Structure 1
């Protein structure tokens, strides 16, 4: 009996030992945390989605967002405004003001993408995005909901730790001895060649066996990599992992979208496998690939079952306790493939881009390590890191160095140091006459101090390049800009001389400006890594995100009429206030079987009958007139309706019950646009908007189309002539 008691005590001590607790904590970090580099990529892709969405919306700036379009201020305030949020865009609804707001929004999103004042820019991007969505909410869709939620959580994630302007600096990682890389001799001074050798010339020495000296980057480095060839010590796979309630909120929100979507799909079509057939048969959403695959009914049934089951099972791979990183990657790639399959068959607009690139935050560390190691092997080919020297008196040189170091060059491919740390043997340099070609040493009659250069590089073979040639050589070691270096080698020498002159002029002007101003240079301000955020800020962020975790879970359960303990109606109101309101009932409980379109039959002042919708006539009212009046389906269907937001305008706005106020404003807009060009007897007198619909059968046939009148509009009253 005593022996049994001893075993129990030994088991308890093992379970409560420090090693066991450390192992469990590391496993939990792997399950609920994210890689800092993936978080930075997540920030960049979300900001790019904002920019792309703004560019698409600006194509309809006049029609959808100004006083003269379909949504004047009076209509928005009286019919489509929210009691929870005041849209900034409604302050001024003129075309000029809306254009300025859109451009500011795009610029702020760009600042968020490059990580400039990241927290502030992320907040402003989110605020302007939900303002835009609230301003004309009737043209919104599920992608907008998911989009604003991901932008909101970006504010609480450490998105600026890598690949950001906020974190760029001139410091070098420490080597294993704790010394700066600036003090490590990377070159043999006896082999240095004073030349402006081009990329083609340097290829002769690519196979030279040269040792790479460097170190593993710390969190201050903006371009981390595996650096397998730089350090012999094994790398810690958890060195860039980050966990907080913010990462758990993102994973929970993603899981809620897919799992809730699965439970909403309660229709018989999802059970018998016919849902995909009905979905890709819809005229507007259908792509050419969907029309090709439509006859393969067995394949469509398998796809239907696979989609439904993956939405339920897929999120579980993000939280797998075994093979965690591999399962996380499988889950991310699986959902990316799911949305790629969707977009190959359906036109989904912004929804695809947001849901596809949101999965980048789930890339585990080994993806980055393998990718960087592959790029390093292909770019460096066993050579030592390129030694780059920048001019501390030239802002142009300093900013170029920071941009290349932060965004484009792997840390194992280049090291950076000021020009004054260059060896004494190279304290003088010749004037560059050809940016990419080698100089003839016999023609060097003029020399000037090294400080006149703005960029110098020395490769692993001791070949020195100056200014534009040095920048071009550094680009050749970039996994993103190597093509640019190849292209520059094909450019005529006259063009490169002009470019070199422009760079030299910018260098001299920036140098003079830095000397005249008393403000510290970027080199002084960014010489070392930035100080980490205060611990109080981290505690505050986790407390807020813990409540948001509860809010997301409670709101999604409340949709299914299941409330968690402590849930209150005020939390529902708070969710509306910060635009956490969400619903994931896409194609639920079953895809629609009714196909519909519109026909607008008009009458000109002279009695001529016209059609104002088909053949893009609605989007070109001032120039296009159709004299063939019928109820046939528009061909091509998708371009007739325009982009995805235009389709939502007709589906959620114009077709909705009680939308007479919107139909009235639409009628006024049609009359204004048409009669602004057509005058006299060719003016539009009146028109009728018809809703035409047909029913899709399971065998692929459709019922005869039927139509009904939605709106009759009179553009003006005729004045009768007295006899």
Structure 2
């Protein structure tokens, strides 16, 4: 039994590294979104509050960001979220900072779900489970303020740590389970199709398409790693060496995507998540090689007494994990097994709602780029999507370079979809306002079309077909 419990122990130093890493990603995400506050989070942006509530908000979605559609109110909430993220990072009133960061993150995501990605989903889920972890027990302000005889030492095992470890496994197991198409397991062409999604792929990613044999090997490797890798965390022989290898393998796996795909903060969130699983022996060996931290840090390290999670916390963590397991089973069984409909609100209110369908059941086999040809009052035609450049219908050398950041990338991916067609009107109105605020007279925009240049991805070895121009919206700025 002791060996079994040890599988779910988390070292306080690893939890401190996780806290600092995740806090850093939270701050970076807030800073990156800050420049887009008027665009994505105000009534003068691409999704005002009224259409959000009427068309796109779920029944149990909530957001304090909806209290105002003005930019100053949003900047205040961003500043508050940044303060909470800093408190979380340094470990000051850590549990309260974790809860506040979680609530503000859920609120922010619900204000504009059209810019929410898998990375955002994972951050919410991790923050929820962090409420059950002693992430402020070492190398934190809380630890320093508690005095030399307060706090735990070594590792911690509880229902909360078990749920956290298993949640990490569920991310990969259900991702693998949902990748049911032959392109993953039999054809090995999944990475070819992934790197053919032009709005996600970098120049290096496109260059990899010249190596189909390597891509086949890497396609199979990735799905095998997602399936088998997490299970190795529970291998009974030489567990600390194997666990350390698994942690760094997954960190390297996610880092290896950075040169080839534009995935926003996802690789960094995953790296922070995996750092929490580094075993005590890793730190002891590192200490032997590098020496002990300086005296300045001694007050931040965990002292000698032990601390256990309360019975109530253990029961609550176990219940929430059972709930999350059922929630994930619903996605893998087409709803045959899952959370009762009467209890679905829990996931939406707490931020635990999750579907790990990245590139599943297969990567997209079509993609495209936008052209927005506009007629100005003086008769000139320009492309609003490229800041007023002359209209050019040829495929750009780098489609991903057309998007300012991952948030725009996700938003424009959504409005192409039929389910989000209602958002196109508000994007069009935003384009009118933005252009005409900076241009007047003969340079004011009169009418424009939002055109999506849709392109099918051929099977490996086949020539690329011509793109099809699809007018997704026509707009008259004078009406």
Does 2:445 correspond to 1:676?
A: no
Does 2:268 correspond to 1:353?
A: yes
C-alpha distance in 2, partners of 1:676/1:262?
48
Match in the other structure for 1:118: 94
Partners of 2:449 and 2:471 within 8 A in 1:
yes
Structure 1, residues 642-668: CA drift from partner, whole Å, max 9, x if none? 21111110111x112154432111111
Partners of 2:18 and 2:273 within 8 A in 1:
yes
Aligned with 1:253 (options 167, 172, 190) = 167
Does 2:477 correspond to 1:715?
A: yes
1:206-355 alignment runs, 5 A limit: 220=151, 240-270=154-184, 271-355=186-270
Larger radius of gyration: 1
Shift of 1:700: 5.5
1:536-685 alignment runs, 5 A limit: 538-561=310-333, 568-614=340-386, 617=387, 625-626=388-389, 628-652=390-414, 654-685=415-446
1:84-99 alignment runs, 5 A limit: 84-99=60-75
Structure 1, residues 454-504: CA drift from partner, whole Å, max 9, x if none? xxxxxxxxxxxxxxxxxxxxxxxxxxxxxxxxxxxxxxxxxxxxxxxxxxx
Partners of 2:11 and 2:155 within 8 A in 1:
yes
Partners of 1:89 and 1:98 within 8 A in 2:
yes
SS at match of 1:559: helix
Between 1:694-703 and 1:315-324, the stretch displaced more is 694-703
Partners of 1:167 and 1:220 within 8 A in 2:
yes
Shift of 1:565: 9.2
Shift of 1:275: 0.9
Does 2:42 correspond to 1:101?
A: no
SS at match of 2:58: coil
Aligned with 2:16 (options 30, 33, 40) = 40
Shift of 1:604: 0.9
Shift of 1:547: 0.2
Shift of 1:220: 4.4
1:526-545 alignment runs, 5 A limit: 538-545=310-317
What do you get for the CA RMSD once the two structures are aligned?
A: 2.4
Match in the other structure for 1:10: none
What TM-score do you get using the length of structure 1 for normalisation? Answer: 0.63
Shift of 1:360: 0.7
Shift of 1:326: 1.5
Structure 1, residues 269-295: CA drift from partner, whole Å, max 9, x if none? 112111111111221221233233321
SS at match of 1:693: strand
C-alpha distance in 1, partners of 2:204/2:462?
17
The structure whose RCO (Cα within 8 Å, separation 6+) is larger is: 2
Note the residue ranges of structure 1 that are not aligned, 5 or more in a row.
1-23, 173-217, 222-238, 380-384, 387-400, 412-528, 618-624, 718-723
SS at match of 1:610: strand
Structure 1, residues 83-106: CA drift from partner, whole Å, max 9, x if none? 213101111121111111101101
SS at match of 2:375: strand
Partners of 2:188 and 2:219 within 8 A in 1:
yes
C-alpha distance in 1, partners of 2:341/2:249?
36
Shift of 1:328: 1.4
Change (3 A) 1:693 1:85: closer
Structure 1, residues 542-592: CA drift from partner, whole Å, max 9, x if none? 010010121111111122238899953333332223222211111112112
C-alpha distance in 2, partners of 1:563/1:338?
31
Aligned with 1:167 (options 137, 143, 160) = 143
Match in the other structure for 1:12: none
SS at match of 1:168: helix
Q: How many residue pairs align between the two structures?
A: 477
Partners of 1:164 and 1:406 within 8 A in 2:
no
Structure 1, residues 341-394: CA drift from partner, whole Å, max 9, x if none? 2223211101111112100111000111122222227x8xxxxx87xxxxxxxx
Change (3 A) 1:601 1:567: closer
Shift of 1:169: 4.7
C-alpha distance in 1, partners of 2:367/2:160?
42
Shift of 1:593: 2.1
Structure 1, residues 167-221: CA drift from partner, whole Å, max 9, x if none? 115966xxxxxxxxxxxxxxxxxxxxxxxxxxxxxxxxxxxxxxxxxxxxx8748
Structure 1, residues 6-26: CA drift from partner, whole Å, max 9, x if none? xxxxxxxxxxxxxxxxxx31x
Change (3 A) 1:171 1:245: closer
Match in the other structure for 1:364: 279
Match in the other structure for 1:433: none
Shift of 1:629: 2.1
Shift of 1:532: 7.7
Between 1:100-109 and 1:692-701, the stretch displaced more is 692-701
Match in the other structure for 2:125: 149
Does 2:463 correspond to 1:690?
A: no
Note the residue ranges of structure 2 that are not aligned, 5 or more in a row.
none
Change (3 A) 1:579 1:665: same
C-alpha distance in 2, partners of 1:338/1:58?
29
Shift of 1:333: 1.4
Aligned with 1:68 (options 34, 44, 47) = 44
Shift of 1:406: 4.3
Match in the other structure for 2:467: 705
